[in-house]
């Protein structure tokens, strides 16, 4: 179910402040004997031809101690200084990090953020349908969600500046990573270690960035093709996210007559479960099985997981930069691809054949 947690900008007027009623623009209008629209024009720098009216309004504001909120000023200028962010469940570490990047980028601005979290496709569609309603937001960041045709139509009709973060579409500005290239790099790394029985474990594609798993599979098969290795259906496991999915994948792969000697896993949390199950079954990591994760969450550094680092916080920060450029009038849609990095740690090593050859040759 969609939720909206609104962050009120500093100085925004509410119904009460402590035990004292907050002065509103209507109070100022009443005290100055003018309409609310006149007060708004004075606040925005208008009413230049009526100095006496401006003086009355300013005197009323001073007498009542009225301080216009950032939202009121922005609305008078046709801006709300509010951005909407549509994101999958914020409890997932990836989306928390993206939101941290967004917060960092907005720290020195007057912008507030409305966050809409979605869990299912229906909630995503409702969130997309509600974007920009009532002119409450100047722009939108859509995180890790593939844009629907309906969203594209809504953006075009409303002329609502929108940037995709950790997703891409040719018709919209975006900040993303190349998941196919990142996966192919991991496979080449394992090939350099002498592995030729390499498996891929990943989550199923769904409405949360459904292209990610497909991109990783494409990169996996591309790198196998470069090495003249034929893909094997039993070496491609699609399972649930989280450690439980990794446990299930390890059980399936290690029960094969010729199990893989290396596995690339679509998420670090799945990799944790796979490592646990492999060790439970008596496999030494990395001597018997090399494992490469994806994401580089904090836990990965503590357990020594070799993994692909995805700059998720940077995705959020750069997404804000692109959106602010759009709001400033940029007419060139940005399609930014951020680099990933393979973090080599303890869970990947030479295949047994290479290691044995090294020992025979007296190598390290």
- How far is residue 7 from each of residues 10, 82, 110, 133, 171, measured CA to CA in Å? 9, 9, 12, 17, 30
Domains 82-176+313-338 and 179-310+343-355 share a fold: yes
Q: What percent of the chain has pLDDT above 70?
A: 79
Q: Which CATH class is domain 8-76?
A: mainly alpha
For residue 103, the model assigns a pLDDT of: 92
pLDDT digits (tens, 9 = 90+) for 45-64: 654 557 888 888 888 888 88
d(CA 52, CA 363): 91
Q: Which CATH class is domain 82-176+313-338?
A: alpha beta
Report the 10 Å Cβ neighbour count for 185: 17
Q: Domain residues of the chain, as ranges?
A: 8-76, 82-176+313-338, 179-310+343-355
pLDDT at 209 over 70: no
pLDDT at 302 over 90: yes
> Mean of the pLDDT values across residues 10-14?
36
Could you please report the per-residue DSSP string of 138-171?
Answer: SEEEEESBPPPHHHHHHHHHHT--EEEES--BTT
pLDDT at 131 over 70: yes
Coil, helix or strand at residue 190: helix
> Mean of the pLDDT values across residues 84-88?
88
**Parallel/antiparallel/unpaired status of strands 82-88 and 139-143:** parallel
> Mean of the pLDDT values across residues 162-174?
92
**Within its chain, how far is the Cα of 169 from the centroid?**
15
pLDDT at 9 over 50: no
pLDDT at 16 over 50: no
DSSP 34: S
For residue 2, the model assigns a pLDDT of: 32
pLDDT, averaged across the chain:
82
pLDDT band at 13 (very low <50, low <70, confident <90, very high): very low
Report the 10 Å Cβ neighbour count for 135: 13
**Within its chain, how far is the Cα of 81 from the centroid?**
21
Copy the structure tokens of residue 329: 């009038």
Could you please report the per-residue DSSP string of 168-218?
Answer: -BTTB-EEEE-HHHHHHHHHHHHHHTT---EEEEEPPP-SBSTHHHHHHHH
d(CA 285, CA 20): 65
pTM of this prediction?
Answer: 0.73
Residue count of the chain, please give it. Answer: 364
> What are residue 342's phi and psi, to 5 degrees?
-85, 115
Q: Which CATH class is domain 179-310+343-355?
A: alpha beta
pLDDT digits (tens, 9 = 90+) for 231-289: 999 999 999 888 999 999 999 999 999 999 999 999 999 999 999 999 999 999 999 99
Whether residue 100 is preceded by a cis peptide bond, meaning omega within 30 degrees of 0, is no
pLDDT at 8 over 50: no
């Amino acid at each position: 179910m969609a939720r909206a947690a609104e962050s009120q900008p500093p100085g925004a007027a509410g119904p009460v402040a402590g035990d004292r009623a907050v002065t509103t623009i209507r109070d100022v209008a009443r005290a100055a004997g003018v309409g609310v629209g006149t007060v708004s024009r004075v606040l925005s720098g208008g009413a230049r031809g009526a100095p006496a009216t401006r003086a009355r309004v300013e005197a009323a504001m001073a007498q009542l101690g009225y301080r216009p909120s950032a939202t009121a000023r922005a609305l008078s200028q046709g801006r709300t200084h509010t951005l909407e962010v549509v994101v999958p469940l914020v409890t997932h570490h990836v989306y928390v990090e993206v939101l941290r990047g967004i917060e960092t980028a907005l720290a020195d601005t007057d912008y507030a953020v409305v966050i809409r979290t979605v869990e299912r496709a229906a909630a995503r569609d409702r969130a997309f349908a509600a974007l920009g309603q009532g002119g409450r937001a100047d722009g939108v960041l859509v995180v890790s969600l593939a844009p629907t045709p309906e969203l594209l139509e809504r953006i075009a009709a409303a002329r609502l500046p929108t940037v995709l973060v950790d997703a891409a579409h040719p018709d919209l500005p975006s900040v993303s990573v190349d998941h196919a290239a990142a996966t192919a790099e991991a496979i080449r790394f394992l090939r350099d270690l002498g592995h030729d029985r390499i498996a891929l474990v990943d989550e199923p594609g769904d409405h949360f960035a459904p292209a990610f798993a497909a991109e990783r599979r494409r990169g996996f098969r591309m790198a196998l093709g470069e090495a003249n290795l034929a893909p094997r259906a039993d070496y491609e496991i699609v399972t649930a996210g989280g450690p439980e999915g990794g446990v299930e994948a390890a059980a399936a792969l290690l029960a094969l007559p010729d199990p893989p000697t290396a596995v690339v896993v679509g998420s670090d949390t799945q990799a944790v479960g796979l490592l646990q199950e492999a060790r439970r079954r008596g496999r030494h990591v990395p001597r018997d099985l090399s494992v490469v994760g994806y994401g580089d969450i904090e836990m990965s550094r503590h357990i020594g997981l070799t993994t692909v680092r995805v700059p998720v916080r940077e995705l959020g920060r750069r997404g804000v930069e692109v959106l602010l450029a759009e709001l400033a009038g940029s007419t060139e849609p940005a399609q930014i691809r951020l680099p990933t990095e393979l973090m080599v740690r303890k869970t990947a090593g030479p295949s047994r054949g290479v290691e044995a050859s090294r020992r025979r040759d007296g190598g390290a």
